[in-house]
Structure 1
Amino acid sequence: MVQLILTGLLCGGLLGFVMQRGRFCITGAFRDMYVTKDYRMFIAFLVAISIQSIGVYLLHLFGVIQFEFGNFMWFATIFGAFVFGVGIIFAGGCATGTWYRAGEGLIGSWMALATYMISSAMMKGGALKSVTASIQSQQVEAQTIYGTLGISPWVLVALLVSITGLLVWKQLSKSRVKIPTMKPKKTGLAHLLFEKRWHPLFTATLVGLIAIIAWPLSEATGRMFGLGVTTPSANILQYAVTGDHSFLNWGVFLVFGILIGSYVAAKGSGEFRFRVPDASTCLKSAFGGILMGVGASLAGGCSIGNGLVETALFTWQGWISLPFMILGTWTAAYFTIVRPRKKVTKKVKISSQTA
């Protein structure tokens, strides 16, 4: 139990600290590709996937970790990923982003986190468990892409790394806009950790390395998976209600660690403060949390479990869920961001013409 608590909190603490300081927002990565045509965070996301993929298959090659694959729940993955993508726009952050932003003091994220935990617990082990099972029953035996193609996983690893490397090179070769910096208030390590602006690619590299470390730490406690947020979040509520200690696995302490690590990072950088949103934002956050819990439970994972981990393993679940998460994000962004902007622009044009 001590090992479970310490390693889970340590890994989660590192992830929460890095994501908060690097502003590693997966929701932003998906949304910005459509709204502002900015691909920097998505490329960084691919870097994290690529690094993890190399690491986990090396660990598997040397017998350090093992994988457990289930059948591909094709309909649940497609539908759930889309719903999850819609939800993260309303919630203002993905599952992991909600945990680390809660550590910054955002009350809206706490509300999204609460409804996310409730809905995921209901879908996984509560009143809606039978609905989840029914939707997930639509399955095919295909598990991994390389298994279906009859090739080595290293072929896909090499392909992913090559594509990601090309995108990184093109991104870095673009002209950079210099951002004015203020005179540092801290010196040495404190400046680097809490004040200096972190580059997205540097942050992504650290996230990828933490994702690799998570595998052996988690499997040492009997949990055969790497980073994951949805099931552990549901387990917290299920343990609180039932008192069943079987719900307290490594993943639970991982998500608690994310919260703690984010708080330390936000406090050290002076970014922690309680921020209470207006009523409309509160309702949107709560609604987004519900959609996140429903979607991630159906799809078998969130933007971390499916988008970061399953993609690194080259499962069909990972690489089918990713584009549908993005599609859901873009759909919600159109109705909540793009369309309202167009209406405002149209009104301004009409006003200027009639003036």
Structure 2
Amino acid sequence: MKVEEFSKKFSKTQPIIGFAIILALFFWGMQLNQTSAKLAFSLAAGVAIGYILTRTRFGFAGGIKRIYVRGEGSLTKALLLAFGVAAILYGAVQWHDAVHGGVPAYLAQEGDKIIHGTQNVYMTNIGTVVGAFIFGIGMIIAGGCASGTLADFGEGEGHAAFAFPFFVLATIPGHYLREVVDRNPIGNIGVRAYLPDYFGYFGAIIVTIVALMILYGFTQRYEKMRKEEGTYMDPLGDYEDFEKPLEDPLSGNPFGISLYHKMFVERWSFNTGAILLSAVSGAIIIFKGKAWGVTSAFTKIAVWFVGLFGIHFTDPAFNSINKTVEAGLLSDGGVILDIGIVCGSFIAFLLASRFKANYKFDSKNAFLFSLGGLFMGFGSRFAKGCNIGALYSSIPNFSLSGWIFMFFISLGAVAGLKIFAGGKSCLVPPRHRDKRDFK
């Protein structure tokens, strides 16, 4: 697209609203800072994550969907890059903590210094396996993972508006049943493995990087096979014209619309998204002492919501959640961060002047989006995390549970792609099988 063409189509109204929201968030952040610096930081980190996710079109569900449907692994390889960069950052932080007397969270006694991020070193049991598989199916039919649903919600995607409330509510039974499993003998069938216990911190980083490089190599080989079959689709094929670099950026005033397009409209690469997300997540683990998570905040929101109708939970599984609800949801950093993600995605679309509510689907698909939300809500809490808490914040924190979660979320996603393809869902295209599919 040329500068003149873009300039004619570009509306200034949405960017003005976007900058106004940024200003409002700044003042809210200042108010939060008076209560807690961590709350203000959570808002800033959430806005940054949402903006990055939308600006790069980065998504964890897409990392499986794209390579299965299109045969190209650009997003899959970017995800592996994100894990690798995060592993180096997290490893450095944890090594520092260990040298200064820190202990893993699952071994800590009262008064001990906890090694940052080890709260995500989970027990790998039936909950991890079943929860990951169910979550994988859900994210395919809902059109996005946990972080993706928040981003899509901010972008005005109707499928997220249907998936989100069911996602939130379904975390309650998922959370409760995982607690029940963990209290009983079946919950002890499994393993909790923290790689530095076996390889040391430097060794854990190397082992993680090597494993990711092996997966990267498999991805490249699979791409090559799909190219030879003629079922590979170019990764740039889904770029909108206005997202691409302008054809004549130096024409006219290069510091006017051309510069604005470069700064706020032109799409960033998946690899850029991977590095930036890892940088923000690294800041989170340093500043907050624990890794980025999404769905634990959903359970708190759900418990607060059902409480409005007189439904309360007295089981010990909900003790900490009830304390948060009593203190107020906006006193919780996880809730603030999730709000920030929605706002960041909303701002990204407004600044690009591309926000538009999208509800172009029928009642059958609305039901599938809602069903996907239910699956993700239950699966995420039954597995003790979603694509973020149980995957992105577990593998780089050297927990074996993250690798197990990766395997079974992938199986679930492929099952969802097979079951719901072929017109059964508007968000699940059939797998490309020959060149005619690309016309």
Q: What TM-score bracket applies, with the shorter chain setting the length?
A: 0.7 to 0.9
Normalised TM-score (structure 2):
0.68
Partner of 1:196: 266
Deviations 1:103-131 (A, max 9, x none): 00112202111100000033325x99647
Task: Decide whether aligned partners of structure 1 residues 274 and 134 sit closer, same or farther in structure 2, where only a CA change above 3 A counts.
Answer: farther
Task: Decide whether aligned partners of structure 1 residues 142 and 164 sit closer, same or farther in structure 2, where only a CA change above 3 A counts.
Answer: closer
Take 1:57 and 1:343, find their aligned partners in 2: how far apart are those partners? 38
Identity in percent: 22
Partner of 1:272: 355
Shift of 1:178: 7.5
Residue among 173, 187, 211 paired with 1:122: 173
Deviations 1:190-213 (A, max 9, x none): 323321121111111101111111
Partner SS state of residue 72, structure 1: coil
Take 1:230 and 1:40, find their aligned partners in 2: how far apart are those partners? 27
Task: Decide whether aligned partners of structure 1 residues 303 and 216 sit closer, same or farther in structure 2, where only a CA change above 3 A counts.
Answer: same
Partner SS state of residue 207, structure 1: helix
Partner of 2:416: 332
Partner SS state of residue 187, structure 1: helix
Shift of 1:327: 0.6
Specify every segment of 5 or more residues in structure 1 that has no aligned partner in the other structure, as ranges. Answer: 220-224, 349-355
Take 1:268 and 1:69, find their aligned partners in 2: how far apart are those partners? 35
Q: Which one is further off, 134-143 or 93-102?
A: 134-143
1:37 matches 2:71: yes
Partner of 2:321: none
Take 1:344 and 1:11, find their aligned partners in 2: how far apart are those partners? 38
State the one-letter code of the partner of 1:121: I
8 Å Cα contact 2:69-2:431 kept in structure 1: no
8 Å Cα contact 2:124-2:192 kept in structure 1: no
State the one-letter code of the partner of 1:161: I
1:187 matches 2:258: yes
Partner of 1:244: 326
1:216 matches 2:216: no
Partner of 1:102: 153
Task: Decide whether aligned partners of structure 1 residues 194 and 343 sit closer, same or farther in structure 2, where only a CA change above 3 A counts.
Answer: closer
Specify every segment of 5 or more residues in structure 2 that has no aligned partner in the other structure, as ranges. Answer: 1-34, 101-114, 228-233, 250-255, 308-324
State the one-letter code of the partner of 1:238: V
RMSD: 3.2
1:134-153 mapped onto 2 (5 Å cutoff): 137-147=187-197, 150-153=198-201
Take 2:362 and 2:334, find their aligned partners in 1: how far apart are those partners? 32
1:8-23 mapped onto 2 (5 Å cutoff): 8-23=42-57
Deviations 1:139-179 (A, max 9, x none): 445322443xx2123223224435656849x96xx998887
Task: Decide whether aligned partners of structure 1 residues 24 and 71 sit closer, same or farther in structure 2, where only a CA change above 3 A counts.
Answer: closer
Take 1:76 and 1:260, find their aligned partners in 2: how far apart are those partners? 32
Deviations 1:66-121 (A, max 9, x none): 33366523211011100000000111000110000000011220211110000003
State the one-letter code of the partner of 1:194: F
Q: Which one is further off, 86-95 or 61-70?
A: 61-70
Which of structures 1 and 2 has the bigger CA Rg?
A: 2
Task: Decide whether aligned partners of structure 1 residues 134 and 284 sit closer, same or farther in structure 2, where only a CA change above 3 A counts.
Answer: farther
Partner of 1:294: 378
Partner of 2:404: 320
Take 2:285 and 2:235, find their aligned partners in 1: how far apart are those partners? 38
Partner of 2:19: none
Take 1:45 and 1:177, find their aligned partners in 2: how far apart are those partners? 15
8 Å Cα contact 1:72-1:139 kept in structure 2: no
Normalised TM-score (structure 1):
0.84
8 Å Cα contact 1:20-1:266 kept in structure 2: yes
8 Å Cα contact 1:215-1:226 kept in structure 2: yes
Q: Which one is further off, 335-344 or 135-144?
A: 335-344
